[in-house]
Structure 1
Amino acid sequence: MRFAKWQGSGNHHLVVERDDWPLAITPERARRILDPAFGVGGEGILEVSRDPDGAPRMTVWNADGSQAENCGNGIRIVARHLAATGRLPEDGRIMTGGGPVRVRVLDDGRVEVQMGRARFPAGEGRERLAVAGASVELAEVSMGNPHAVIEHPEPGAVVRELGPAIETDPRFPERTNVEFVRAEGPSELTMRVWERGVGETMSCGTGACAAAVAAVRLSGLSSPVTVHLAGGDLVIAVDDDLEVTMTGPAEEIYRGQLSAALIDALEGL
């Protein structure tokens, strides 16, 4: 059972081919594989398969065994994985749980992704939320998956304190990703993120998109927006119709295969 480990802006995932794995991935098995002590470790599994029409599909498994509709860093990883094996379609279309996206691998190795149209499910504005003894103003943005974007002067100081409380607040029955942002200029943001089902991570591609959308529409920043994350920078372009394009890196770290002992353990789950 082979895998490749990749990172995109510090967000690290395992890439597996569904056809090459004799065991189906389940929530229990995903948790064991991604456990850093008893498995391989990682923030997610990117399961690559093909739809009946031949289009490649990315299924995202989180570290807690849940599935995410999409993963911005993950889609760049899968794009380069498919390109390296000659399987990236000419039109760059990859299916996700949040719908199709289109990708283009650039000459410098970065990947440009047409992420689709962002939405403000609760209306184009901010709302106040009382949580964990604090009161925050958040913008709810959907990139096919849910995000709560909060302006804060010290994003890194509050991500672990407020992130988990906001993720699981009753306001978000399906839970939410949480982004804390600070504007650094007319087209720059610093962002720290608490990912739904994972926890604090060095980067979140869809979160950077959501943060840029909120910054452009609600705070007057100019597109494209450079988002500074703990794991590196992503460039997010937002047009007048809220169509979003993300550009950033993806890098393979190593390849490996699961041991017989781990496979035996997975078979019992």
Structure 2
Amino acid sequence: MKQTLAFTKMQGLGNDFVMLDAVRQPVDLSPERVRALADRHFGIGCDQLLVVEPSDTPGVDFRYRIFNADGGEVEQCGNGARCFARFVFEQGLTDKREIRVETAKGLITPRLEDDGTVTVDMGVPVLTPAEVPFVSDSDAYVQPLDVAGRTVAITAVSMGNPHAVQVVADVDTAPVAETGPLIEHHPRFPARVNAGFLQVVDAHRVRLRVFERGAGETLACGTGACAAVVAGILRELVVSPVTVETRGGELTIAWDGVGTPVMMTGPAVTVFSGEIALP
């Protein structure tokens, strides 16, 4: 017997998602089913699959679950958070323009702006290596990482999910496809990691490519943009607010420094809706 799922395809700067409403329909997922939905030839196709669930926590509107295209569940997704906020509003699941959403790593607060963009309070970045998690004897913000016989300088940041940000001269020629998988699976990142490649244009503008854990390189990564700006500010290379140029478009990231939350503003677009039958 086949289950029919109603879904909505959305994208934030080309980072694309399959949205599933688990408030008004039963959603039974397995890693195999996630991979089938995410498959770009035989399924709907997406970088991540996002599930909206009711929250049992007082004062919290929804629970937000995120699955990568490889079927693994992860903690956070910034571009997905913006799409999440637009989705629940457009679907009539809430009439609030600002909501409180429970994720695997804590609460986020997306707000639908009048111009159609979405601003998300992404929380306070985690910089303590053991909490990223990143294996290190030092708390320094810039640390060496041996990758393919050479040493790169990275900043380890968690935005609810782990990131390793390195500064490069030119993102167009950066070895993202070659070293991205090596960094993702590096033994010093026990939960794997998103590998960010950051080019500083000026004090308020950067360019970014991200090789995402479980998804490969995507056109944009919201948490990656947040982590990159945090790394750039800690290294005194940029000053808030910062425009982050990705291959899918631009995000605005603001951060006032250690101990304060990161604010992310950018687009969220509905592409199409439909139904799909799965075994």
TM-score normalised per structure 1? 0.93
Q: Answer yes or no: is the 8 Å Cα contact 1:44–1:61 preserved in 2.
A: yes
The partner residue of 1:134 within 112, 131, 150 is 150
In the aligned structure 2, how far is the partner of 1:124 from the partner of 1:245? 24
Call closer, same or farther: CA 1:88–1:67 in 2, change over 3 Å. farther
Figure out how many residues of one structure are paired with residues of the other and give that number: 261
SS of residue matched to 1:258 = strand
The partner residue of 2:56 within 52, 55, 66 is 52
Q: Answer yes or no: is the 8 Å Cα contact 2:200–2:237 preserved in 1.
A: no
Q: Answer yes or no: is the 8 Å Cα contact 1:79–1:88 preserved in 2.
A: no
Deviation readout 1:60-105 (Å, 9 max, x if unpaired): 0100111110100000001001121341546521111121111111
Q: Which residue of 1 aligns with 2:243?
A: 226
For 1:50-199, list aligned pairs within 5 A.
Answer: 50-53=54-57, 55-86=61-92, 87=94, 89=96, 91-122=98-129, 123-157=139-173, 158-199=175-216
In the aligned structure 1, how far is the partner of 2:66 from the partner of 2:231? 25
In the aligned structure 2, how far is the partner of 1:46 from the partner of 1:15? 5
Q: Answer yes or no: is the 8 Å Cα contact 2:97–2:113 preserved in 1.
A: no
- Choose between structure 1 and 2: higher helix proportion: 1
Alpha-carbon RMSD: 1.5
For 1:33-44, list aligned pairs within 5 A.
Answer: 33-44=37-48
SS of residue matched to 1:138 = strand
Structure 2 unaligned segments of length 5 or more: list them: 130-138
In the aligned structure 2, how far is the partner of 1:237 from the partner of 1:196? 24
Q: Answer yes or no: is the 8 Å Cα contact 2:97–2:111 preserved in 1.
A: no
Deviation readout 1:215-259 (Å, 9 max, x if unpaired): 111134110011000000000000133310000000000011104
Q: Answer yes or no: is the 8 Å Cα contact 2:61–2:99 preserved in 1.
A: no
Q: Percent of aligned pairs with the same residue?
A: 40
Deviates more, 1:29-38 or 1:142-151: 29-38
TM-score normalised per structure 2? 0.90
The partner residue of 2:271 within 253, 257, 260 is 253
How far apart are residue 156 of structure 1 and its match? 3.3
Q: Answer yes or no: is the 8 Å Cα contact 2:23–2:54 preserved in 1.
A: no
Match status 1:211 vs 2:217:
no
Structure 1 unaligned segments of length 5 or more: list them: 265-269
In the aligned structure 1, how far is the partner of 2:51 from the partner of 2:68? 11
